[in-house]
Structure 1
Amino acid sequence: MAQDETPMIRLRGVTKRYGEGATAFLALKGVDLDIGRGEFVAIMGPSGSGKSTAMNTLGCLDRPTGGQYLFLGAHVESLSRDERARLRRRYFGFVFQGFNLLARTSAQENVELPLLYRGEPAARRHAAAARALDAVGLKGWEHHTPAELSGGQQQRVAIARAIVTEPAVLLADEPTGNLDTQRSHEIMDLLARLNSEQGITVLMVTHEPDMAAYAHRIVRFVDGLVASDERNASPTQPGSRTAAQQQGAG
């Protein structure tokens, strides 16, 4: 991010406390973090480090206890629950470790859900879901249920559902945690392409260094604080691992 460019996301002294009195737990202890439009940032750290709390705060799922969270210049920490919900629906898409797909519902219908909640007409929902499924490489799989899809395909449906609203920011919490190595790299290739080709800002929590290697920046949390924030000089490029495997096979 250029120094004169205002960051899309800015955290200043952000804290998050759970509970009260003697049982209170401070999950975030004064986090400062800037994220520019179009970045791909991996958030890492040991269990209990605050990385998931930070992700929930960034995605407007949790409200900070203290400090400032500015998104496109707006003070998120001062918004009501309904205002944060509107902000989420307009700007954010979410991908989780568990695919969270409706079991008896087709891929097309799963992807359409966010648009259904928005009250979009059926024709517009169908067209947008078809585009999203095509973007994640699942054209032709629209009418398959999750039981008829592999784990990697189910995560692609989940990603299509996250991007069908054309979000500015995609938040991915351990998106490869339930996948084998090959499928994990396929999903990372997809996230990297969405970032580079569509300009979606990607924020990803992961504990796997080879997944974090796709990101432009790697932010490490320890004990509720940012312990390091380093730029990745050579991010893994989409398709590079597959090409290397093919060369090795040859």
Structure 2
Amino acid sequence: MASNPPDPIIRLRGVTKTYGEGPTAFQALKGVDLDISAGDFVAVMGPSGSGKSTTMNMLGCLDVPSSGTFEFKGVHVERLDRDQRALLRRKYLGFVFQGFNLLARTSALENVELPLLYRGESRKERQQAGMAALEQVGLAPWWKNTPAELSGGQQQRVAIARAIVTNPDVLLADEPTGNLDSERSIEIMELLTRLNQERGITVLMVTHEADMAAFARTIVHFKDGLVERIDTGHRAGVPV
């Protein structure tokens, strides 16, 4: 007996996004429909100006549609105010950036603890969760090191630990290997794959690199403000 597919954790229907007004208005999204299943590993690709970054900003609850609907776990995000979207981000989402975005003068552990500090958790709770996250990314022995004392690959691992320390449902990664060499890039992709498979975290990743996108199960191609096509059936962690 075939099992039913999991319910989408994210659903976009007829999503548009327009910047500006009048003759200078620019329509970045022109009616995007997209379902993302819980536990999927999705790579988002497309040329500059295709709408992929606008869509990722929306999925990260940093922006709202001009029209259309955006459901996250059944909640209509387009109806939430700024504070409500911030709470949703804090509780359910983790972010990884191309430039790492670490605090230069603080240790790896202190960087990882930062989201928990915003949540008001105790120092003991922050340290325990921070060390556990660093352990998961293989950097527990470097917990005292500042970013300047770490390689680029290690800095991105710290950034990933910071993103998962809150146990998010969804991890959004914006060009996570963009500043890394090929070997370190593969290590980061293998780490993201492991977090997806072992912890069930839904991973959404923007990338320009086809060999990095090949780690994903689903590849969404954007063009001219629309989803051009969706490639499915990849086995996450096994480039094709």
Both proteins in one fold, TM over 0.5: yes
SS of the aligned residue for 1:175 comes to coil
What does residue 102 of structure 1 align with? 103
What does residue 225 of structure 1 align with? 226
Q: Which runs of 4+ in 1 moved over 4 A?
A: none
What does residue 184 of structure 1 align with? 185
Task: Give the aligned residue type for 2:219.
Answer: I
Task: Give the aligned residue type for 1:111.
Answer: V
What does residue 173 of structure 1 align with? 174
How many percent of aligned residue pairs carry the same amino acid? Answer: 69
The answer as to whether partners of 1:60 and 1:84 remain within 8 angstroms in 2 is yes
Cα 1:234–1:7 change in 2 (3 A) is: closer
Using the alignment, how far apart are the partners of 1:5 and 1:218 within structure 2?
Answer: 18
Could you give the per-residue CA deviations for residues 204-250 of structure 1, whole angstroms, max 9, x where no partner exists?
A: 0000000000000000000010000111434443xx9xxxxxxxxxx
Using the alignment, how far apart are the partners of 2:39 and 2:5 within structure 1?
Answer: 15
May I ask how many residue pairs the two structures share in their alignment?
238
The answer as to whether partners of 2:107 and 2:145 remain within 8 angstroms in 1 is yes
The answer to whether the aligner puts 1:133 opposite 2:134 as a matched pair is: yes
Aligned-pair CA distance for 1:190: 0.3
The answer as to whether partners of 2:193 and 2:236 remain within 8 angstroms in 1 is no
Using the alignment, how far apart are the partners of 1:142 and 1:128 within structure 2?
Answer: 12
Cα 1:6–1:85 change in 2 (3 A) is: same
The answer to whether the aligner puts 1:193 opposite 2:217 as a matched pair is: no
Aligned-pair CA distance for 1:20: 1.3
Written as runs of structure 1 = structure 2, the 5 A alignment for 1:22-41 is 22-41=23-42
User: TM-score, normalized by length of structure 2?
Assistant: 0.96
Could you give the per-residue CA deviations for residues 182-220 of structure 1, whole angstroms, max 9, x where no partner exists?
A: 000000000000000000000000000000000000000
Aligned-pair CA distance for 1:134: 0.4
Could you give the per-residue CA deviations for residues 158-183 of structure 1, whole angstroms, max 9, x where no partner exists?
A: 00000000000000000000000000
What does residue 64 of structure 1 align with? 65
Aligned-pair CA distance for 1:23: 1.3
Task: Give the aligned residue type for 1:138.
Answer: L
The answer as to whether partners of 1:14 and 1:68 remain within 8 angstroms in 2 is yes
Task: Give the aligned residue type for 1:74.
Answer: V
What does residue 124 of structure 1 align with? 125
Using the alignment, how far apart are the partners of 1:219 and 1:192 within structure 2?
Answer: 17
Q: Unpaired segments of 5 or more residues in structure 1?
A: 241-250
Aligned-pair CA distance for 1:4: 5.4
Aligned-pair CA distance for 1:63: 1.0
Using the alignment, how far apart are the partners of 2:217 and 2:79 within structure 1?
Answer: 30
Identify the range of structure 1 (20-29 vs 149-158) with the bigger mean alpha-carbon deviation.
20-29
What does residue 51 of structure 2 align with? 50
Could you give the per-residue CA deviations for residues 13-50 of structure 1, whole angstroms, max 9, x where no partner exists?
A: 00111111111111111000000110000000001101
The answer as to whether partners of 2:216 and 2:234 remain within 8 angstroms in 1 is no
